Amino acid sequence: MNLLKKYAIVVFFSVFCALQGIANASTEPNYMGEL
């Protein structure tokens, strides 16, 4: 169960980062540089 939870978190984080990257690429190109 613990492994499944960790896997879910990793997948969610990867998708979240991918969506943020797409959104920033089309709206704020400098956003990633500020992190």
- Average confidence score pLDDT of the chain: 78
Q: Is 10 helix (H, G, I), strand (E, B) or coil?
A: helix
pLDDT recorded at residue 21: 76
Instruction: Compute the distance between CA of residue 33 and CA of residue 27 in angstroms, rounded to an integer.
Output: 14
Instruction: Fill in the amino acid letter for 23.
Output: A
Question: Phi first, then psi: what are they for 28, rounded to 5°?
Answer: -130, 90
Where residue 5 falls among pLDDT bands split at 50, 70, 90? very high
Q: What is the pLDDT of residues 19-35, one digit of tens each?
A: 887 766 666 655 555 55
